[in-house]
Homo-oligomer: A and B are copies of this chain.
Amino acid sequence: MLSNSSKYALKAVLYLAVHSSMEKKILAKDISEPINVPRAYIAKILQELSRHNMVSSMRGPGGGFYLNEENKKTLLFDIINLIDGDNRLTSCVLSLHKCDNENPCPMHHLVDDTKASFVKKLKETSVEDLTSEIRSGKSFLPI
């Protein structure tokens, strides 16, 4: 469904959404442990996210990663697209070149609507949309 890298990206961003702010920056190594992702690897992913304005960062002493208000509006879809490439979610389940109703593969009619609704949800949901649920204890960040 999703690559490990994009799962890690989502976990890191959600962790920052809940625990960080401009005043409370978090070090890469302090993100890696609670979300259970290797340090150097999450650092690399955070840099990619930073380059594309999905997380904010500050170097030097007292620096770290955090989300500003704009960052929190990032859509889940955009994070996944950045890390996994833009057609992992929308491509044909049998790898036909184009997935549409004109030239449907044998599984197209079976999966098209659930695939579409999955993508739709990812396009409608921003990082901050998920944070209230985490804050109120209705869902949990993976250990």
CA A125 – CA B108 in complex, angstroms? 13
- Binding stretch for chain B, among A1-9, A20-28, A50-58, A67-75: A1-9
Q: How many residues of A contact B (CB 8 A)?
A: 39
Q: Is the CB of B142 within 8 A of A130?
A: no
Question: Do A94 and B10 contact each other (CB < 8 Å), given the known contacts A111-B121, A114-B114, A114-B117?
Answer: yes
- Known: A106-B141, A108-B139; 12 extra A-B contacts, CB below 8 A, are A1-B88, A4-B95, A11-B94, A14-B106, A76-B107, A94-B142, A96-B142, A103-B140, A105-B140, A106-B130, A114-B114, A118-B118
28 contacts between A and B (CB under 8 A): A1-B88, A2-B93, A4-B95, A7-B93, A7-B94, A7-B95, A10-B94, A10-B107, A14-B106, A92-B142, A94-B142, A97-B142, A104-B138, A104-B139, A105-B139, A105-B140, A105-B141, A105-B142, A106-B130, A106-B140, A107-B130, A110-B121, A110-B122, A110-B125, A111-B118, A114-B118, A114-B121, A115-B118
